[in-house]
Amino acid sequence: MPVKTLWLVRHGESVGNVAATRAEREGLERIPLDIRDSDVPLSPSGRDQAAALGEWLAEQRAGIGTYWVSPYLRARETLAIALGDDPAVVLVDERLRDRELGILDLLTTRGVARLHPEEAERRRHLGKFYHRPPGGESWADVALRLRSFLGDLFAGPGESALIVAHDAVVTLIASLLRSLQEQELLEFAAANPVLNASVTHLEFTGESWEMPAFSDVRHLREEGAAVTVHPGTPEVGDPQAADAEQDPAR
C-alpha cells in the first residue's frame, strides 16, 4: 500500500540558527559561521529538542514504516538522537537537503541589501517563490526535487513514513500535497513558521491530503525542552525580513 500517513520533522536548533539570529540582532552583514552548510551541527538546545522528540517518537514507532532524512548533519543528528538505540533503517536522500542560496549564503538582511542590491531588487520583482540567487535555488527548484522524492516515496513499501529535514522542505512538501498555488503558499509560509524539532502530520483521506497538525511543538513543552524562535529571518515568518535571502536553517 502507498504511504497514507506522513510525519514531517524539522531538525532541532542548530549552531547556525543561533549565529544567524545573533548576526541579525547585532546588525552584521555576514553570519560568522565557518562551517560548511551540510556540516552544521545541533546546538545544545537542539540536542535537548531532539531528545524530547524521541519521547514523542517512542509512542509512534509502531506506526512508522520508513524513516527518511536529509544528508545534512543537523537533520541526521536530530533523527539519531530521537531514535536512540532503535535499529530502524534510515534512508538518507540528498533531495531532502536544505535550500541552496549561492552568493547570498551566510548574508544577513543588511548584508544582502548592501553587497547585492541587484539581487534584492530582482527578488522583489520575481517574488520569493521564483527568485533564484546566482549559484543557488529558488523555492520552485526545491519543489521540483521534492516532487521527484515524493514519487519514490509513494512508490515504496509501507503506509506511513517520517521525514526529518528543513523548514523549507517541510513547508514545500505540505504545499505540494495540498496543491497550494504560489500566493497561497507564500501566505501560508509567512503565517506559519516551521519551528525547530516541530512535527507536521499529513493524512491521505482517499481523495485529498489533510493536515491535522503543522509545526506542533507540544512534545517539547511536555519534556521541558526550549521552543526556539529565531526572528529576523523570512523562513520563520518575520514580515520585517520578507525580502531577505538568509537561510535560518544553518
pLDDT single digits (tens) 31-52: 999 999 999 999 999 999 999 9
Q: Write down how long the chain is.
A: 250
pLDDT digits (tens, 9 = 90+) for 213-230: 999 999 999 999 999 998
- 8 A C-beta contact, residue 91 and residue 67: yes
Question: Which tens digits make up the pLDDT trace of 102-136?
Answer: 999 999 999 999 999 999 999 999 999 999 999 99
Backbone angles phi, psi at 8, to 5 degrees: -115, 125
The single-letter code of the amino acid at 30 is R
pLDDT at 232: 43
Claim: this prediction has a pTM higher than 0.85? yes
Mean pLDDT calculated for residue range 148-165: 94
Name the 3-class secondary structure at 203: strand
Task: List the chain domain ranges.
Answer: 5-241
Judge contact between 209 and 175, C-beta under 8 A.
no
pLDDT at residue 61, as a whole number: 84
Using CA of residue 38, residue 9, residue 14, residue 29, what is the dihedral sign?
A: positive
Q: Rounded CA gap, 130 and 139, in Å?
A: 6
3, 160 in Cβ contact below 8 A?
yes
Neighbours of 122 (CB within 10 A): 14
DSSP string, 211-244: EEEEEE-HHHHHHT-------S-GGGT-GGGTT-
C-alpha grid cell, residue 51 = 531528545
pLDDT at 161 over 60: yes
Question: Is pLDDT at 240 greater than 70 in this prediction?
Answer: no
Tell me the pLDDT tens digit for each residue of 47-56. 999 999 999 9
Give the residue, 99 or 65, on which the prediction is more confident: 99
Q: Which CATH architecture best describes the domain 5-241?
A: 3-Layer(aba) Sandwich (3.40)
- Report the C-alpha gap between 163 and 229 in whole angstroms: 21
| Among candidate residues 3, 6, 11, 5, the one with its CA nearest the CA of residue 164 | 11
| Helix-, strand-, coil-residue percentages of the chain, each rounded to 5 | 45, 15, 40
* 64 touches 161 (CB < 8 A): yes
Neighbours of 27 (CB within 10 A): 10
| Predicted pLDDT of residue 222 | 97
